[in-house]
Amino acid sequence: MRKLLSIVTTLALAAGLAAGCGSKTAETPQQPVSKETKAPGQTTYPLTVKDATGTEITIKQEPKRIVSLASSNTEILFALGLGDKVVGVDKWSDYPAEAKSKPVIGDMNTDTEKVVAQQPDLVIAGATLNGKAIDALRKLNVTVYAVEPKTIAEVQQAIKEIGKITNSVSKAEEVAKNMEKKLSEVKAKVQGLTDDKKPLVYVEVSPAPEIFTAGKGTFMDELVTLAGGKNAFSDVANWAKISAEQVVAKNPQVIISTHGVTAEVEKEVAARPGWDKISGVKEKKVVAVDTNLVSRPGPRLVEGLELFAKAIHPELFK
């Protein structure tokens, strides 16, 4: 339950950021101090970039000791083959398995002393989630690069940006390309669906007594649309707290839960007062998906998209 609350808090926090992570990076002019040439795709240092907070930072040399303040960023770093350079992660970094062996530097609250103790030359953070820690670390002259992707395209861009500052450009391109391949496969499955074939979908991020859903402007809203559905709560913004009565009034045809397992969630949802009248409950279209695949804006988000598509259109994935 504690982990679930942390996920909901993380998602709610993400609602307040206006800056995206699609900022373009810009290299500082390099002086011809030597005749050394870089292989295609290699990063030239020092490198000056602007992150999701709008801050320009300079990476003096290829990072050797990296700390991740968010599980999604940990997944990106490992996907880029940088696991051996990761010297600190947050409490929720549990994928891949190797990440669990790394020193923990905090949970929802980053322990800046533990971060500094790891002597990082680069910290990767979430612009909103780790806002206070970013400010504190920068005051200590720690190099922090912040990202804040809100769509699959922005996740791919964030991966490429992290790849550039860590001299992993080729691997980043490969990871982004693989994401695009999975995205295209799902799109092909739902292509041609008419509007009347796109069911109304309710995504439950957190259950009662405090029910949260994914509204407009969230990557889960995008997942519903890409998966061939219509978000029942596209009329609310970001990660929104709603009432049980609002869900009943919407009468969604499909219910996707990001907590628990299908059998348990289906039983619990059906037992809620008045919910037995909801179309999705009556038709037994209540599906629980792996929260880590749909709540972390990292490389596996496209796997979460496929789970959404299978929940909304199981007939297309037989």
Residue carrying structure tokens 């292989």 = 39
- The CB density around residue 111, as the number of other CB atoms within 10 Å, is 15
pLDDT for res 25: 41
The amino acid that residue 61 corresponds to is Q
Query: Other C-beta atoms within 10 Å of 120: how many?
Result: 24
Whose tokens are 């045809």? That residue is: 253
Tokens of 283: 């038709």
Of 44, 69, 222, which is closest to residue 143 (Cα–Cα)?
Answer: 69
Cα 188 from Cα 193, distance rounded (Å): 10
Amino acid 12: pLDDT: 47
What pLDDT does residue 108 have? 82
Q: What is the pLDDT of residue 20?
A: 37
Question: Given this model, what pLDDT does residue 5 score?
Answer: 47
| Predicted local confidence at residue 17, as pLDDT | 35
d(Cα 298, Cα 307) in Å, to the nearest integer?
Answer: 15
The residues, ordered by sequence, that sit 6+ positions from 162 with a Cβ below 8 Å of its Cβ are: 73, 76, 77, 80, 124, 145, 147, 168, 172
Structure-derived torsion over alpha carbons of residues 81, 83, 85, 89, reported in degrees to the nearest 10: 140
Contact (Cβ atoms closer than 8 angstroms) between residue 253 and residue 223: no
Question: Can you tell me the distance from the alpha carbon of 176 to that of 139, in angstroms, rounded to the nearest whole number?
Answer: 33
Instruction: Going residue by residue through the chain, which has 318 residues, state the pLDDT in tens, using 9 for 90 and above.
Output: 445 445 555 554 444 433 333 444 444 444 444 344 556 679 999 999 999 999 999 999 999 999 999 999 999 999 999 999 999 999 999 999 999 999 999 988 999 999 999 999 999 999 999 999 999 999 999 999 999 999 999 999 999 999 999 999 999 999 999 999 999 999 999 999 999 999 999 999 999 889 999 999 999 999 999 999 999 999 999 999 999 999 999 999 999 999 888 999 999 999 999 999 999 999 999 999 999 999 999 999 999 999 999 999 999 998
Tens of pLDDT, residues 11-58: 544 444 333 334 444 444 444 443 445 566 799 999 999 999 999 999
How distant, in Å, are the alpha carbons of 52, 105, 166, 230 from that of 203? Answer: 27, 31, 36, 11
Instruction: List the end-to-end C-alpha distance of the chain, in Å, as a whole number.
Output: 33
The number of beta carbons lying within 10 Å of the beta carbon of residue 285 is 20
pLDDT, residue 2, reads: 43
What would the two tokens of residue 38 be? 């870089």
What is the four-CA torsion angle of 41, 179, 237, 72, rounded to 10 degrees?
-70
Place of tokens 């990557």: 219
pLDDT, position 259: 86
